[in-house]
Amino acid sequence: MIRRLLASYLLLTLVVLIALEVPLALGYRDHQMDQLTSGIERDAFVLSSYLSDSLSGGTPVDLTTVVTNYTASTGGRVVIVNSTGDVLADSEPASAGKRNFLSRPEIADALDREIATGTRYSTTLGTGLVYVAIPISIGDQVFGALRVSYSTDQVDAEVRRYWVVLLGAGLVTLILAAALGVLLARWVTRPIAKLRDAATRIGDGELSARAEIERGPPEIKDLAAAFNATAVRLEELVTAQEQFVADASHQLRTPLTALRLRLEMLEIDSNDGNRDDIEGARKEVHRMSRMVDGLLALARAERTLGARPGRLELDKALQERAAAWQPVAEERDVSIVARGGGFKARCTSDMLSQVLDNLIANALEVAPANSVLTLHATAEDSSSGSIIAIHVVDQGPGLTDEQRERAFDRFWRATNERGELGGTGLGLAIVQKLVESEGGRAELRAAEGGGLDAILLFGN
């Protein structure tokens, strides 16, 4: 944003400089030409008055000396012709011998009692000329004409120097505008960047984040104030929701525990005919308790901050979870094999343990007897670079493509059967939230040879 604002400031400054300096430079050139033409006219009238008596037959004057002295003192060229256009004197004669300038438009106009001024390009000299031609006359009688001319090279050189000065001034102005533009752009964008950072932190779960409203333009301050008010309201709503889930879970645990105890007491005192019904009711109470715990865990997972975790040794983490679940697996005649492959993943130990517990519980529910449940890690390539994949592979019936797509939905189950370890429909939803909270993602793939491959993908 700073670059775009700075580019806008510099472009606007450049347009203003062009709009000011180009007319100024053109006006300066016109002024220089007007001054030069006025000076030439003045000199031409003075010389004409001085030479008119000599050309009319009065006191003779050395015309060559007059024009030579003028050129030496001013740098201009003077040509004097008689009434027929023959050259009487030329301060810069191009060639020797008699010459006639009657073909020159300005000379012809001057002999016709007109004052001719203007500019033209001289093919003989190869440069532009500013000239003034006036008649040399007494009364109505014209005795000749006088032309004073200057090369425009001097004016052009002066104009070029003026252009250089203007360009230098424009460059300095652009540098100052760039410096001021950077300061102004930072003043405008700094609170916007802080507002963006606050929004990012809130999106990552840090609901206490607030935007700074002490600096910046008034409009940004108003926006930051509105943002903070929204953040406060959002934090209140989420906190209230979390508190409700926690209170509800806590309040439900007590009656569920009491109900389970009563069912166990009834089971002891009941006859064989009622034992199956009581056992079924006890399992339902147990399932409801797990569902309450799952809802609380899911609510906490959604509030987990998205801080970037460190790198965790996977060999130890996988072996610990395998050892923890080995007794349950042995009861089901299932073997658990764990190998981390020496990899490290960017995740926390607590999060990974909770996620693996959910996946292992689901896998043991469907794993057939005498099968193997494998926990291992591999490296995979992705568009963002190398990532670490943690696999939980069972040899159960697996899931269809459609079932794998819906498996992470809340309360979704592949079958209506209730297992002892899972069956609430919240396990994979909790897994997904926990993994995403630390920048990873969870996937389900078909395992080779049948079964399901639950994969956790983390940064390396």
Task: Indicate which CATH number applies to the domain containing 282.
Answer: 1.10.287.130
Q: Establish if 165 belongs to a structural domain.
A: no
418: pLDDT strictly greater than 50:
no
Find the CATH number of the domain harbouring 89: 3.30.450.20
Same domain, 22 and 125: yes
Within a domain: 257: yes
C-alpha to C-alpha distance for 217 and 220, rounded to whole angstroms: 5
DSSP state of 420: S
Structure tokens at 347: 């995740």
* pLDDT beyond 60 at 444: yes
Report the distance separating Cα 147 and Cα 44, nearest Å. Answer: 7
Q: In this structure, what CATH number is given to the domain that contains residue 359?
A: 3.30.565.10
Percent of the chain with pLDDT over 90: 13
pLDDT at 261 over 50: yes
Classified as helix, coil or strand, 429 is helix
Q: What tens digit of pLDDT does each residue of 108-137 get?
A: 999 988 999 888 777 766 778 888 999 998
Residue 193 covered by a domain? no
Which distant-in-sequence residues (6+ apart) come within 8 Å of 74 by Cβ?
A: 43
How many Å separate Cα 410 from the centre of its chain?
Answer: 38
Per-residue pLDDT at 341:
85
304 within 8 A of 434, measured Cβ to Cβ? yes
Query: Which residue among 140, 157, 174 closes a domain?
Result: 157
Q: Output the pTM of the full model.
A: 0.46
Please name which of 268, 277, 200, 208 lies closest in space to residue 236, comparing C-alpha atoms: 208
Side-chain-side CA neighbours of residue 425 (13 Å)? 12
Helix (H, G, I), strand (E, B) or coil at 278: helix
Q: Which of 102, 132, 157 is the last residue of a domain?
A: 157
Residue 179 lies in a domain: no
Residue 141 has pLDDT above 90, yes or no: no
Interatomic CA distance for residues 414 and 406, integer angstroms: 9
What order of strands is seen across the sheet that includes strand 127-138? 87-90, 77-82, 141-151, 127-138, 116-122
Residues 25 and 96 in one domain: yes
Q: In whole angstroms, what is the distance from residue 401 CA to residue 389 CA?
A: 20
Q: Would you say residue 334 lies in a domain?
A: yes
Per-residue pLDDT reduced to its tens digit, 357-406: 889 988 898 889 999 999 999 988 776 667 899 999 998 888 888 888 88
Structure tokens at 85: 């256009």
Within a 10 A sphere around the Cβ of 280, how many other Cβ atoms?
A: 12
Q: Tell me whether residue 92 is in a domain.
A: yes
**Phi, psi for 117 (deg, rounded to 5):** -130, 155
CA angle at residue 330 from 326 to 335, to 5 degrees?
A: 70
Q: Which domain holds residue 269?
A: 204-303
Asked if residue 333 and residue 434 are part of one domain, the reply reads: yes
3-class SS at 344? strand
- Same domain (yes/no): 412, 314: yes
Q: What are φ and ψ of residue 333, in 5° steps?
A: 55, 40
Residue whose C-alpha is closest to residue 456's, from 336, 325, 328, 358: 358
437/360: higher pLDDT: 360
398 and 274 together in one domain:
no
Same-domain status, 44 and 90: yes
pLDDT digit string, tens, across residues 309-328: 778 899 999 999 999 999 99
Whether 133 and 241 map to the same domain: the answer is no
Residue 190 placed within a domain: no
DSSP 8-state assignment for residue 454: E
pLDDT band at 308 (very low <50, low <70, confident <90, very high): low
336 inside domain: yes
Q: Taking the CB of residue 379, how many other CB atoms lie within 10 A of it?
A: 11
Q: What is the DSSP string of 56-91?
A: TTSS---HHHHHHHHHHHH--EEEEEETTSBEEEES
Supply the mean pLDDT for the chain: 81
Query: Quick one: 125 and 211 in the same domain?
Result: no
Which of 375, 348, 353, 376 lies closest to 431, judged by CA? 353
Domain boundary, last residue among 97, 130, 157 = 157
147/251 same-domain check: no
- The pLDDT score that the predictor gives to residue 231 is 86
User: Average pLDDT in the 62-69 region?
Assistant: 88
Domain shared by 294 and 378, yes or no: no
Rg of the chain over CA atoms, in angstroms? 50
Distances (CA, A) of 390 to 340, 345, 346, 435: 8, 9, 12, 12
Average the pLDDT over 153-171 and give the result: 85
Most confident of 32-36, 210-214, 313-317: 313-317
Q: Which residue has the higher pLDDT, 417 or 409?
A: 409
Please tell me whether residues 236 and 272 are part of one structural domain.
yes
- Domain match, 84 and 6 both: yes
Read off the amino acid at residue 360.
I
For 265, residues 6+ apart whose C-beta sits below 8 A from its C-beta are none
Into how many domains does the chain fold? 3
